[in-house]
Amino acid sequence: MKLGTEDKRKTIIAGVLLLAAVILVVHQFSGGSSDTTLPATQTPAVSPAKHGSAQTGRKGAYLLLTHSLDPTLRFDLLKSSEDVTYKGTGRDIFHSQAAVADIPKPAPPDVTPGPPVPPPPPPIDLKFYGFAGPKNGNKRIFLLKGEDIFLAKEGDIVDRRYKIMRIGANSVEVQDLLTNNTQTLPLTAG
CATH 2.30.30 for the 127-186 domain, yes or no: yes
Domain with CATH 2.30.30 in the chain: 127-186
What element of type H or E holds 80? helix 75-82
Is the entire prediction scored with pTM above 0.85?
no
Tens digit of pLDDT for each residue in 133-171?
Answer: 776 777 889 999 989 999 999 999 999 999 999 988 888
What local confidence, expressed as pLDDT, does residue 163 receive?
95
How much of the chain, in percent, has pLDDT values that exceed 90? 22
Q: Cβ(145)–Cβ(127) under 8 Å?
A: yes
What integer is the mean pLDDT of 103-132? 82
Q: How many Cβ atoms are within 10 Å of 50's Cβ, its own excluded?
A: 14
Q: Cβ(149)–Cβ(143) under 8 Å?
A: yes
Is the pLDDT at 22 greater than 90, yes or no?
yes
The DSSP-derived string for 64-77 is HHHHHT--S--HHH
What local confidence, expressed as pLDDT, does residue 36 receive?
46
CA angle 77, 78, 79 (to 5 degrees): 90
